Amino acid sequence: MMIYAITAIAILISIALALTRAILGPTSYDRILSANAIGTKTVLLIGVMGFLAGRPDFLDLALVYALVNFIGTLAVLKYFKFGTLRGTLSKPADNS
């Protein structure tokens, strides 16, 4: 059990480093990438903490959080690229 506690501490340290990159990142894409990394490390932390607590149902929560993190990252990237979250429709081709 001690190795899982050490793993949880290492994950917390890496989350702190990613948070530092989110605060100091020179570009918005650095901040988005570090927020995604924090989300991924949080999924790992939920899994490890569930294993420490003897609650395997935490893995289900970790999977849901991973999906929300992925969809959220895609939404933020789309917003930064297009300025809106609405669908981007291209103009129909002019065949005349």
Exposed e or buried b per residue across 33-66, where buried means at least 16 C-beta atoms within 10 angstroms of its C-beta: bbbbbbbbbbbbbbbbbbbeeeeeebeeebeebb
Tell whether the model's pLDDT for residue 28 goes beyond 90: no
Q: Domain 2-82: give its CATH architecture.
A: Orthogonal Bundle (1.10)
Task: For the chain, give the mean pLDDT.
Answer: 89
pTM across the whole model: 0.79
Q: In the chain, what are the domain boundaries?
A: 2-82
Long-range contacts of 2-11 (CB under 8 A, 24+ apart): 4/48, 4/51, 4/52, 5/52, 7/48, 8/45, 8/48, 8/49, 8/52, 11/41, 11/44, 11/45, 11/48
